[in-house]
Amino acid sequence: MIALHDVTVRYGGRTALAGLSAVLPRSGVTAVTGPNGAGKTTLGRVLLGLVPPSSGRVTGLDGLRRAAAFQDLRLCEHLSAVANVRLVLPRSVRAVAVTDALDCVGLDGRAWHVPVRTLSGGQRRRVALVRALAGDADLVVLDEPFTGLDAAGRDAVLAWTRERLEGRTVVLVTHDPGDVAFFAATELPLVPADAGPWPPQNALDGGR
């Protein structure tokens, strides 16, 4: 299991996370919620090893394969959807597995082989999600992955995501209470650091 022990993150003089302690279940979804600026993305960055805690520590990350769908997507703009996904997969994974996944999240075949910079925001978000989930990462951070998806396509994306998340440690940043219920997630609500220190007791262990 992954555990955060009194983790504080400061960007220069600004405190983004203040003394956060929590345990993430090994298998299952932790939904990180809270207002803008509460530190949700920062928590994801810490778990991915992209931002070191200013103090405190995170245990349980050693040896984990990690993947993410970033809020700002971070796709390789000049590459196609298929190439973006294949970049993170072993060569042995067949192209058809990638196109099947893109199909499952509702990305039209005409969008598979053109540079992703020519795709719409919702199409690009689908590519980022498939890139995060197509491989075998043990820990997956999904930062507002369903933003901007049309209502008709959203259900298919959610269903495919839930299927792909099974057995992994998943951190889902979301503003949508419906997502918490859909993924039967354990909610980890964050409050902006300037609203006071995080309660010292573990927010998630609930006596486990």
Q: Find the shortest distance in angstroms from Cβ 139 to ligand ATP.
A: 18
Q: Measuring CA to CA, how many Å separate 132 from each of 44, 75, 190?
A: 13, 11, 24
Q: Closer CB to ligand ATP, residue 138 or residue 176? A: 176
DSSP strands (E only) in 34-123: 55-59, 66-69
Distance CA 187, CA 104 (A): 27
Q: Find the shortest distance in angstroms from Cβ 34 to ligand ATP.
A: 6
Token reading at 42 = 């920062």
Q: Closer CB to ligand ATP, residue 15 or residue 80? A: 15
Q: Closer CB to ligand ATP, residue 16 or residue 119? A: 16
Q: Find the shortest distance in angstroms from Cβ 54 to ligand ATP.
A: 12
Taking residue 141's Cβ as centre, other Cβ atoms within 10 Å add up to 27
Contact set with ligand ATP (CB under 6 A): 11, 14, 16, 34, 36-42
Q: Find the shortest distance in angstroms from Cβ 197 to ligand ATP.
A: 15
